């Protein structure tokens, strides 16, 4: 490597997943894509894709599904996506958002459903203030733009501060922790809307189900959940 190549590499975009310097030539759509999303072709082909949909419910045993909600997910919760989603909760991980959001959008395209609006799962005001942003909103915003529908990021709020769901291993405790955690503010109308509800990770599904139920109770006609990855896909 000569001095020119060395200096060029210092400022060249690198793959977010493997750190490889991305090629300078952009003579094919895939090379443009790599540059735009900072992902090399090799990593792009090896991400744990698993476009998948399932019915989620508030039932802890999942053997019955009262008021089920359709949840669509794009990938398995495996490396390198698991690390990307963990770091998305910190500012240095925000550069993963464009590629994650794009993959979520592609997974959604397999569904024939149409929507009126996109709503991200909200953080509590306290956590939002500490983090400075909501990672679900960061993922949801480009999806709303691609769909050409509004992002209603104030139409669903946390009505109380909850402990982080990841603190509870017991599904019953997770269900109790999130029960009644959301509300649609009086001044916001979701009446008659078909809503795409967006979050980063699907674990038990309780958070998404609770949020969806709140929106349906407030008058939404349909709610479908979309996440980047699911911990529930085993095979």
Q: How far apart are CA 114 and CA 72, in angstroms?
A: 13
The closest alpha carbon to 224, from 159, 143, 125, belongs to: 143
Which window, 42-50, 86-94, 162-170, 171-179, contacts Zn ion (CB under 5 A)? 42-50
Q: Which is nearer to Zn ion, 37 or 115 (CB)?
A: 37
In the complex, the smallest distance separating the C-beta of residue 25 from Zn ion, rounded to whole angstroms, is 17
67: preceding bond cis by omega (within 30 degrees): no
Q: Of 12, 18, 110, 172, which lies in the binding site for Zn ion, with binding defined by CB under 5 A?
A: 18
CB of 18 to Zn ion, least distance (A): 3
Residue 40 is encoded by which pair of tokens?
């090399």
Which residue among 15, 118, 140, 144 contacts Zn ion (CB under 5 A)? 15
Measure CA 73 to chain center. 9
Examine residue 22 and tell whether it contacts Zn ion (CB under 5 A).
no
Site string for Zn ion, 54-73 (x = CB under 5 A): --------------------
Alpha helices in the chain (DSSP H): 3-11, 29-37, 41-46, 81-87, 97-109, 125-131, 135-147, 171-178, 206-217
**Span interacting with Zn ion, options 11-19, 64-72, 100-108, 191-199, rule CB under 5 A:** 11-19
């Amino acid at each position: 490597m000569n001095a020119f190549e060395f200096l060029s590499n210092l400022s060249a975009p690198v793959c977010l997943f493997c750190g490889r310097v991305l090629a300078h030539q952009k003579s094919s759509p895939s090379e443009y894509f790599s540059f735009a999303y900072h992902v090399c072709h090799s990593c792009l082909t090896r991400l744990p894709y698993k476009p998948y949909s399932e019915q989620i419910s508030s039932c802890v045993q999942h053997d019955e599904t009262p008021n089920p909600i359709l949840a669509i997910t794009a990938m398995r919760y495996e490396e390198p996506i698991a690390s990307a989603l963990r770091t998305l909760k910190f500012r240095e991980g925000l550069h993963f958002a464009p590629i994650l959001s794009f993959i979520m959008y592609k997974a959604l395209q397999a569904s024939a459903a149409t929507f009126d609006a996109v709503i991200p799962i909200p953080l509590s005001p306290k956590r939002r203030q500490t983090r400075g942003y909501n990672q679900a909103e960061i993922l949801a915003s480009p999806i709303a733009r691609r769909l050409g529908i509004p992002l209603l990021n104030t139409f669903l709020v946390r009505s109380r501060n909850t402990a982080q769901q990841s603190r509870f291993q017991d599904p019953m405790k997770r269900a109790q922790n999130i029960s009644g955690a959301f509300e649609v503010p009086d001044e916001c109308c979701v009446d008659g809307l078909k809503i795409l509800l967006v979050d980063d990770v699907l674990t038990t599904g309780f958070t998404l189900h609770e949020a969806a139920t709140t929106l349906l109770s407030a008058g939404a006609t349909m709610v479908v959940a979309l996440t980047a990855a699911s911990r529930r896909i085993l095979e």
